[in-house]
Amino acid sequence: MSKADRDSWTNWPARTAPIMAAQFGLDQMALTIYLEEEARQHLTERSDPKLRFEVPS
């Protein structure tokens, strides 16, 4: 994963949560925190050196 990809994922919750919160009538801060946690988990999983990528035979 490139730095640009990581930065994009890291910034996505702050850009998206206000729009989603307004559209669905949700608490903006709670949604931002939730999306930040999910994005962080996603990035952690993608950067896990234990992950193995195998090419199908």
CA–CA distance, 14 with 34 (Å, rounded to integer): 11
Task: Determine the 3-state secondary structure of 43 from DSSP.
Answer: helix
Whether residue 1 has pLDDT greater than 90? no
Domain borders along the chain are 3-46
pLDDT score for 50: 67
Whether residue 6 has pLDDT greater than 90? no
Whether residue 7 has pLDDT greater than 70? yes
CA–CA distance, 23 with 43 (Å, rounded to integer): 26
Write out pLDDT tens, residues 24-43. 999 999 999 999 999 999 88
Sign of CA dihedral 16, 20, 26, 44: negative
Q: How many CA atoms lie within 13 A of 8 on its CB side?
A: 5
